[in-house]
C-alpha cells in the first residue's frame, strides 16, 4: 500500500469540495422544494393571470411548495408505486396593492385558487423593493440637507430598511422605515448610525412618504469597526494552527436529491424562502425491529422574534419577526468552505423566487458534514470486579446540517445535528453585528439616564434586545398519533417511619389533554417533557417516546398587552403543543409585517383543542436575552443555545451498544505545506 499511493497524483483537498446539485440527478420527492423550472412555471402562470398592461406592479413575496396533505403523503410513502401527491405551489404576490394567494397545480399548469387577502398584515418584504427603497434618501433633498448639516459625506451613506411593526395604529400601506449609516472607511455600517432622522418609504409608491430630522448626535468613529481581514493591522492573532478532518473511506452519508442517509438516519432536507432549512420525514433505523421508525415528520424554525428594548423614537419600533418579515431563506448566506463549514463538508444550493418571480440561486446554502468533535458516545470503566480491568469507550460522531441566515446585522447559524444514539440536537449560533445607537457619551460616568444598552465604545450604545427562535416540530413518534406527557417530579414527604428518609421525589405523569395544558414556561416546575406514541409500547410497557431536553430558559418580558407582545405572544411560553393543522406553520402568522397578532400560535391555541393521541406539533422557543458587551464589538463571537430531542423508551435499549469502533486512520508522514 505504501508504494501504491506514493505514485498517485497529489491533489489539493480544497478542490475536492463539491456541491450537490439537487435538481439534476434524482427522482423528485413530493417534499422537494420547487425547482428553478417550477419556480419559473409558477411565475408564468401567476403573471399570465393578470392583465398584461399592469404586470409591472406584480411582485412575488413568497413562492414555495404547497405541502401535500399529510395523510396523502404518508399513504403514498407507504406505497410509492401509487401516483405521488400532485406538485403544487403556494405563491403570495402583490398586485395593485392587493395581496393574492395563489395555489398552482404545476403538472396541469393551472390555478387552483386565487384568493385576495384583505386582513391586517403584509407578506414578506421583497429584496428588490428594499434595495430600491434604501437608495431613495440619496437623491432626496431634505435628506441631503440633513447629511450636509451633520458634516457627513453623502457618498459614505448606506441606508437599511426596517419593518415598522404595529403600535395600535393602522397604516393601510406597505411601508418601511429607513435608518442610515455613515460607513466612511469601514463596511461595518451598523456600528455607525446616523441618529435623529426618521424616514418612511411607501414600498408600492416607492417614495419617501414621511421625513423628519429631529435631533443630532455625532456618528461614532469608524476606527476599529471593520472586520475584514484585509483591513486588520498588526498585531494579528490569536494564532490558530490549521487542521483538517481526514476520512479515508469518505463521508458516512449519502445524498440522493434531497434525501440524506447517514449511519442509522434518513431524512429529507429542503430549502424554503421563508424558514430556510426544513427537515422532513426523519426516521431512524431500529436494528432490533429491522426497520426505519419515524421521529419527525417535519421540523423547521417557524419564527424569530427580536424585540429591541429601547422605547425612544428612533428605536421603539424595532420588534422584528425575521422569518415572516424578511425571510430566513431569502436572507441565507452562501457558506464559505473551511470557515463556515469544515473541510469534510458537502454543500447544497438553494433557489427562491425573486421579487419578479424569477428563480434566484443561493450557492452553498446548506452544508452537511460529519462532526468529529472528540466527544465520547458512551463509555464505562469497570473497577469493581477484582483482578479484572475493563474499559469500553466509543467515540462520538454526528451529522450536522447547517444554514446561516443573515438578517441585516445578525447572523443566525442554524444547525440540525443527528446522533447515532437517536438524539437530534437543534442548535442556533448568533454572530454578526450588534444593533447600536449613537450617543454623546464616551464614558459611563457621564450617563445619568437609562440608555437602554451598554456603552461599548465612544458614542456607541449596544441596545438591549432578545432573540426568540421558535421551532415547529411536527413529531411523529413511530406513527402519527402522539401525546405530550409532563412527568412532573414531585417531592414526597415520608412521615410513617417506614424509612429513614424524610423525603424523595417521584414522577407524577400528566398527559396534556388540550393545548392549554401543554403551555409551559420552563424553570418553574421540574418535569421531564416527553412526546409519546401512546399506542405503541416497549416490551416492558413504556410508551415509545422522545424527550425534550431544554436549554437555558428565557421568555418575553414585555407586557402581554403591549403591541409587539400581542404579535409575538408565542414567546410567553417556551413550549406549546398543537394539533397538526396544515395552515399552522408560521408562529407569527402568515402576514407578519404590520400584523395585529390575530394569526399567531398563541391565538390558534386559544381554541384549546384536544391533543391527546392526536397528530400533534411541538413548538419550542429558544430564548436569549442579550445585554451587549464590548466583546460583541465589532463582530460578536458566536453565542450558542439550543435543545435536544432524545429517544426515551423509543428503543428497547441503547441504539449504540453495538457500534464497532472505527479502525484507526493510518496515513503517511507529511510535511507542512506552504
User: Which sequence positions are flagged as catalytic?
Assistant: 322, 410
* Part in contact with a copy of itself (CB under 8 A); list of ranges 74-82, 194-202, 607-615, 653-661: 653-661
Cross-strand bridge partners of residue 593: 122
Considering only 397, 485, 587, 617, the residue that binds a copy of itself (CB under 8 A) is: 397
Given a contact cutoff of 8 angstroms between Cβ atoms, the answer to whether 458 and 446 are in contact is no
Rounded to 5 degrees, what are φ and ψ at 159?
-105, 155
Of residues 236 through 265, those in contact with a copy of itself by CB under 8 A are 236-252, 263-264
C-alpha 170: how far from chain center: 30
Q: Is 292 in the site for a copy of itself (CB under 8 A)?
A: no
Rounded to 5 degrees, what are φ and ψ at 598?
-90, -5
Picking from 144, 162, 165, 142, the residue whose alpha carbon sits closest to that of residue 153 is 144
**Cell digits of residue 615:** 397528530
**Cell digits of residue 280:** 422532513
Query: Shortest approach of a copy of itself to residue 410 CB, angstroms?
Result: 9
Considering only 429, 435, 579, 588, the residue that binds a copy of itself (CB under 8 A) is: 429
Considering only 295, 306, 345, 365, the residue that binds a copy of itself (CB under 8 A) is: 345
Rg (CA), the chain: 27
Q: Is 674 in the site for a copy of itself (CB under 8 A)?
A: yes
Q: Compare residues 88 and 402 and give the one whose CB is closer to a copy of itself.
A: 402
The CB density around residue 672, as the number of other CB atoms within 10 Å, is 5
* Part in contact with a copy of itself (CB under 8 A); list of ranges 22-30, 298-306, 394-402, 575-583: 394-402
Q: Compare residues 112 and 187 and give the one whose CB is closer to a copy of itself.
A: 187
Return the ∠ at Cα 478 (arms to 473 and 482), rounded to 5°: 60
* Part in contact with a copy of itself (CB under 8 A); list of ranges 145-153, 291-299, 405-413, 607-615: 405-413
**Cell digits of residue 59:** 411582485
Query: Shortest approach of a copy of itself to residue 131 CB, angstroms?
Result: 7
Given a contact cutoff of 8 angstroms between Cβ atoms, the answer to whether 429 and 417 are in contact is no
Contact flags string 78-107 toward a copy of itself, x per CB under 8 A: ------------------------------
Report the distance separating Cα 518 and Cα 607, nearest Å. 13
Beta strands in 439-502, from DSSP E residues, in sequence order = 453-457, 460-463, 465-475, 481-493
Q: Compare residues 24 and 671 and give the one whose CB is closer to a copy of itself.
A: 671
Q: Is 40 in the site for a copy of itself (CB under 8 A)?
A: no
Report the distance separating Cα 299 and Cα 296, nearest Å. 7
Given a contact cutoff of 8 angstroms between Cβ atoms, the answer to whether 530 and 618 are in contact is no
Q: Is 649 in the site for a copy of itself (CB under 8 A)?
A: yes
Q: Is 139 in the site for a copy of itself (CB under 8 A)?
A: no
Report the distance separating Cα 466 and Cα 568, nearest Å. 12
Q: Is 475 in the site for a copy of itself (CB under 8 A)?
A: no
Query: Shortest approach of a copy of itself to residue 30 CB, angstroms?
Result: 27
Of residues 108 through 137, those in contact with a copy of itself by CB under 8 A are 131, 134-135
Q: Is 413 in the site for a copy of itself (CB under 8 A)?
A: yes
* Part in contact with a copy of itself (CB under 8 A); list of ranges 10-18, 26-34, 293-301, 577-585: 10-18
Of residues 521 through 550, those in contact with a copy of itself by CB under 8 A are 522-524, 526, 528, 537-542, 545, 547, 549-550
SS3 of residue 565 by DSSP: helix
Considering only 116, 235, 448, 497, the residue that binds a copy of itself (CB under 8 A) is: 235
* Part in contact with a copy of itself (CB under 8 A); list of ranges 29-37, 469-477, 563-571, 613-621: 563-571
SS3 of residue 580 by DSSP: coil
Of residues 189 through 228, those in contact with a copy of itself by CB under 8 A are 189, 224, 227-228
Q: Is 283 in the site for a copy of itself (CB under 8 A)?
A: no
**Cell digits of residue 441:** 457619551
DSSP 28: P
SS3 of residue 392 by DSSP: strand
Q: Is 271 in the site for a copy of itself (CB under 8 A)?
A: no
**Cell digits of residue 423:** 438524539
Of residues 350 through 389, those in contact with a copy of itself by CB under 8 A are 369-386, 388
SS3 of residue 191 by DSSP: helix
**H-only helix segments in 447-535:** none
| Maximum separation of any 2 CA atoms in the chain, in Å | 90
Report the distance separating Cα 42 and Cα 57, nearest Å. 17
Strand duo 157-163 + 98-105: pairing: unpaired
Considering only 154, 206, 209, 494, the residue that binds a copy of itself (CB under 8 A) is: 494
Q: Compare residues 149 and 537 and give the one whose CB is closer to a copy of itself.
A: 537
Considering only 56, 118, 172, 663, the residue that binds a copy of itself (CB under 8 A) is: 663
Q: Compare residues 104 and 530 and give the one whose CB is closer to a copy of itself.
A: 530
Considering only 56, 81, 493, 497, the residue that binds a copy of itself (CB under 8 A) is: 493
**Cell digits of residue 36:** 428553478
* Part in contact with a copy of itself (CB under 8 A); list of ranges 38-46, 105-113, 165-173, 582-590: 165-173
Q: Compare residues 77 and 138 and give the one whose CB is closer to a copy of itself.
A: 138
Q: Compare residues 183 and 469 and give the one whose CB is closer to a copy of itself.
A: 183
Q: Is 154 in the site for a copy of itself (CB under 8 A)?
A: no
Q: Compare residues 37 and 450 and give the one whose CB is closer to a copy of itself.
A: 450
Contact flags string 576-615 toward a copy of itself, x per CB under 8 A: ----------------------------------------
Does an H or E element contain 37, and which? helix 36-48
C-alpha 470: how far from chain center: 8
C-alpha 218: how far from chain center: 36
SS3 of residue 287 by DSSP: coil
Report the distance separating Cα 397 and Cα 418, nearest Å. 9
Amino acid at each position: 500500500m505504501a508504494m501504491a499511493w506514493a505514485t498517485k497524483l497529489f491533489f489539493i483537498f480544497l478542490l475536492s469540495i463539491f456541491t450537490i446539485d439537487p435538481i439534476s440527478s434524482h427522482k423528485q420527492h413530493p417534499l422537494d422544494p420547487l425547482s428553478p423550472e417550477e419556480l419559473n412555471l409558477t411565475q408564468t402562470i401567476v403573471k399570465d393571470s393578470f392583465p398584461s398592461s399592469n404586470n409591472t406592479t406584480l411582485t412575488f413575496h413568497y413562492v414555495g411548495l404547497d405541502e401535500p396533505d399529510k395523510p396523502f403523503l404518508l399513504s403514498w410513502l407507504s406505497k410509492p408505486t401509487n401516483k405521488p401527491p400532485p406538485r403544487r405551489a403556494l405563491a403570495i404576490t402583490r398586485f395593485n396593492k392587493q395581496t393574492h394567494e395563489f395555489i398552482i397545480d404545476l403538472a396541469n399548469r393551472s390555478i387552483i385558487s386565487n384568493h385576495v387577502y384583505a386582513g391586517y398584515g403584509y407578506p414578506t418584504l421583497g429584496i428588490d423593493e428594499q434595495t430600491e427603497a434604501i437608495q431613495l434618501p440619496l437623491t432626496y433633498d431634505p435628506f441631503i440637507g440633513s447629511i450636509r448639516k451633520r458634516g457627513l459625506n453623502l457618498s459614505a451613506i448606506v441606508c437599511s430598511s426596517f419593518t415598522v411593526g404595529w403600535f395600535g395604529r393602522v397604516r393601510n400601506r406597505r411601508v418601511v422605515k429607513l435608518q442610515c449609516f455613515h460607513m466612511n472607511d469601514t463596511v461595518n455600517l451598523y456600528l455607525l448610525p446616523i441618529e435623529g432622522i426618521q424616514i418612511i418609504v411607501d414600498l408600492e409608491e416607492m417614495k419617501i412618504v414621511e421625513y423628519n430630522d429631529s435631533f443630532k448626535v455625532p456618528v461614532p468613529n469608524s476606527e476599529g469597526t471593520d472586520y475584514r481581514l484585509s483591513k486588520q493591522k498588526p498585531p494579528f492573532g490569536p494564532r490558530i494552527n490549521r487542521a483538517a478532518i481526514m476520512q479515508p473511506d469518505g463521508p458516512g452519508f449519502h445524498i440522493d436529491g434531497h434525501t440524506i442517509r447517514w449511519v442509522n438516519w434518513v431524512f429529507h432536507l429542503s430549502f424554503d424562502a421563508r424558514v430556510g432549512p426544513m427537515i422532513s420525514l426523519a426516521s431512524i433505523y431500529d436494528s432490533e425491529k429491522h426497520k426505519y421508525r419515524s421521529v419527525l415528520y417535519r421540523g423547521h424554525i417557524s419564527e424569530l422574534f427580536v424585540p429591541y428594548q429601547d422605547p425612544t423614537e428612533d428605536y421603539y419600533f424595532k420588534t422584528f419577526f425575521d422569518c415572516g418579515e424578511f425571510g430566513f431563506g431569502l436572507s441565507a448566506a452562501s457558506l464559505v468552505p473551511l470557515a463556515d463549514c469544515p473541510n469534510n463538508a458537502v454543500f447544497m444550493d438553494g433557489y427562491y423566487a425573486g421579487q419578479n418571480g424569477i428563480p434566484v440561486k443561493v450557492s452553498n446554502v446548506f452544508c452537511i458534514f460529519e462532526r468529529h468533535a472528540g466527544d465520547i458516545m458512551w463509555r464505562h470503566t469497570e473497577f469493581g470486579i477484582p483482578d479484572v480491568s475493563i474499559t469500553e469507550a466509543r467515540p462520538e460522531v454526528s451529522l450536522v446540517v447547517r444554514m446561516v441566515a443573515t438578517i441585516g446585522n445578525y447572523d443566525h447559524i442554524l444547525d440540525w445535528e443527528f446522533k447515532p444514539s437517536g438524539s437530534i440536537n437543534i442548535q442556533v449560533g448568533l454572530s454578526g453585528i450588534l444593533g447600536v445607537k449613537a450617543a454623546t457619551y464616551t464614558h459611563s460616568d457621564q450617563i445619568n439616564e437609562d440608555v437602554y444598552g451598554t456603552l461599548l465604545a465612544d458614542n456607541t450604545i449596544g441596545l438591549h434586545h432578545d432573540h426568540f427562535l421558535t421551532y415547529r416540530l411536527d413529531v411523529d413518534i413511530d406513527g402519527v398519533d402522539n401525546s405530550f406527557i409532563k412527568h412532573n417530579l414531585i417531592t414526597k414527604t415520608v412521615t410513617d417511619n417506614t424509612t429513614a428518609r424524610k423525603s424523595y421525589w417521584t414522577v407524577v405523569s400528566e398527559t396534556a389533554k388540550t393545548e392549554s395544558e401543554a403551555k409551559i414556561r420552563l424553570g418553574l416546575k421540574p418535569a421531564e417533557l416527553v412526546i409519546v406514541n401512546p399506542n405503541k409500547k416497549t416490551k416492558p410497557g413504556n410508551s415509545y417516546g422522545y424527550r425534550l431536553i431544554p436549554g437555558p430558559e428565557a421568555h418575553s418580558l414585555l407586557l402581554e398587552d403591549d403591541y409587539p407582545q400581542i404579535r409575538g405572544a408565542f414567546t410567553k411560553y417556551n413550549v406549546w403543543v398543537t394539533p397538526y393543522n396544515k395552515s399552522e406553520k408560521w408562529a407569527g402568522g402568515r402576514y407578519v409585517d404590520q400584523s395585529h397578532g390575530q394569526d399567531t400560535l398563541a391565538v390558534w391555541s386559544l381554541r384549546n383543542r384536544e391533543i391527546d393521541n392526536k397528530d400533534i406539533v411541538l413548538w419550542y422557543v429558544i430564548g436569549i436575552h442579550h445585554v451587549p458587551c464590548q466583546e460583541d464589538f465589532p463582530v460578536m463571537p458566536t453565542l450558542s443555545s439550543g435543545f435536544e430531542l432524545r429517544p426515551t423508551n423509543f428503543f428497547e435499549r441503547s441504539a449504540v451498544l453495538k457500534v464497532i469502533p472505527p479502525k484507526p486512520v493510518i496515513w503517511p508522514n507529511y510535511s507542512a505545506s506552504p
